[in-house]
């Protein structure tokens, strides 16, 4: 078929275009970063805690750690909540409430992150400050990020649950397994792949999120000693300093971007690894 072949070549063209653009971005970042990276060595960035661009010290460790902790914390908070939420929508709500809940979740997934940040800044941060000053902290970042990525995970897990054949439920009932047993022993384990994928997608959003963390984490460059410490994430650092950074400082920010890129790659690989492992043993 001519139209088939045409469509095929069009798709191939767009795919190549997308891949090319991505390579261009990566190449650009790498080019900006490599000079300094070669000059100072990876260790100078990875294993040092001092970020003093004007003194030529570019230790990224505190910010790398902060970004990692923010991501892990947010995913750890959001995933269980999202899984329970998706299970509720599918198995406990009535038909109409379920539809309503799905629309709400979709809306929540589309809210710009700055709105979540604003909410965190005006509501959550003062609340945390009442417990321990200054309020803007690692914990605040984790919580607002968790809220922000929650709908993403719900959407993915919900899609997985909806794709489950309806007869699993009848089979479970016929085996004297009631609803709660069905949900927790059969339905949720059956969509473990969706949970993993949803959590990974959400993790990618969390690690890349800039606005929220800039608004609620306090932006102090330091190794987080406790959940209530103000911290600065890698992304926030780039956004805060790019406007005036020059020369080496500027290159160091590109090195930060490179690390963020590596995070993204690592997430994709982790996802594949987990899914593959599940495929063999699930």
Partner 1 sequence: MGYLGDAMDQRQACHEPAAGEISLCTDQLCLSYGSKQALEGVSLEIKPRAVTAIIGPSGSGKSSFLCCLNRLTDLTAGSAVSGQVKVGSTEIYGTQRHDPVQLRRQVGMVFQRANPFPFSIWKNLALPLRHHGVRDKQQLRQRIESALQRVGLWDEVSDRLNTPAGALSGGQQQRLCIARALVLEPSILLMDEPCSALDPISTQRIERLILELKERYTIVIVTHDLAQARRIADHVALFWSFEGKGRLIEYGPAPQIFHHPTHELTGAYLAGHI
Binding site for partner 1 (CB under 8 A): 165, 167-171, 173-178, 181, 185-186, 189-190, 281-282
Choose between 169 and 249: whose C-beta lies nearer to partner 1: 169
Choose between 112 and 282: whose C-beta lies nearer to partner 1: 282
Is the backbone of residue 136 left (phi > 0), alpha (psi -120 to 50) or beta?
Answer: beta
Query: What's the gap between Cα 58 and its chain centre?
Result: 25
Q: In the bound complex, what is the minimum distance in angstroms from residue 205's beta carbon to partner 1?
A: 28
Q: Are 117 and 212 in contact (CB under 8 A)?
A: yes
Say which residues have a Cβ less than 8 Å from residue 116's Cβ, sequence separation at least 6: 144, 147, 148, 212
Strands 57-58 and 51-52: antiparallel
Choose between 106 and 173: whose C-beta lies nearer to partner 1: 173
Choose between 2 and 176: whose C-beta lies nearer to partner 1: 176
Q: Is 133 exposed, middle or buried (0-12, 13-18, 19+ CB in 10 A)?
A: exposed
Choose between 90 and 235: whose C-beta lies nearer to partner 1: 90
Q: Are 214 and 124 in contact (CB under 8 A)?
A: no
Q: In the bound complex, what is the minimum distance in angstroms from residue 175's beta carbon to partner 1?
A: 4
């Amino acid at each position: 078929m001519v139209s088939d072949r045409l469509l095929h070549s069009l798709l191939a063209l767009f795919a190549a275009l997308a891949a090319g653009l991505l390579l261009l971005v990566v190449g650009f970042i790498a080019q900006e970063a490599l000079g300094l990276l070669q000059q100072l060595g990876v260790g100078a960035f990875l294993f040092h805690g001092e970020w003093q661009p004007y003194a030529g010290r570019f230790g990224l460790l505190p910010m790398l750690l902060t970004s990692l902790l923010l991501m892990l914390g947010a995913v750890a908070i959001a995933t269980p909540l999202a899984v329970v939420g998706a299970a509720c929508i599918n198995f406990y709500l009535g038909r109409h409430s379920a539809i309503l809940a799905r629309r709400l979740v979709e809306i929540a997934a589309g809210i710009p992150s700055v709105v979540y940040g604003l909410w965190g800044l005006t509501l959550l941060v003062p609340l945390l400050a009442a417990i321990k000053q200054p309020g803007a902290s690692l914990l605040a970042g984790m919580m607002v990020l968790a809220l922000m990525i929650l709908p993403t995970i719900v959407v993915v897990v919900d899609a997985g649950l909806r794709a489950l054949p309806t007869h699993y439920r009848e089979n479970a009932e016929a085996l004297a397994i009631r609803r709660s047993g069905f949900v927790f022993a059969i339905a949720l384990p059956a969509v473990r792949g969706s949970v993993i994928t949803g959590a990974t997608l959400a993790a990618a959003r969390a690690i890349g999120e800039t606005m929220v963390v800039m608004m609620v984490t306090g932006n102090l460059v330091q190794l987080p000693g406790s959940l209530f410490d103000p911290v600065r994430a890698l992304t926030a650092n780039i956004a805060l300093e790019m406007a005036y950074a020059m020369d080496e400082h500027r290159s160091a920010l590109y090195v930060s971007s490179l690390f963020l890129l590596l995070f993204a790659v690592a997430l994709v690989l982790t996802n594949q690894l987990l899914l593959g492992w599940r495929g063999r043993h699930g």
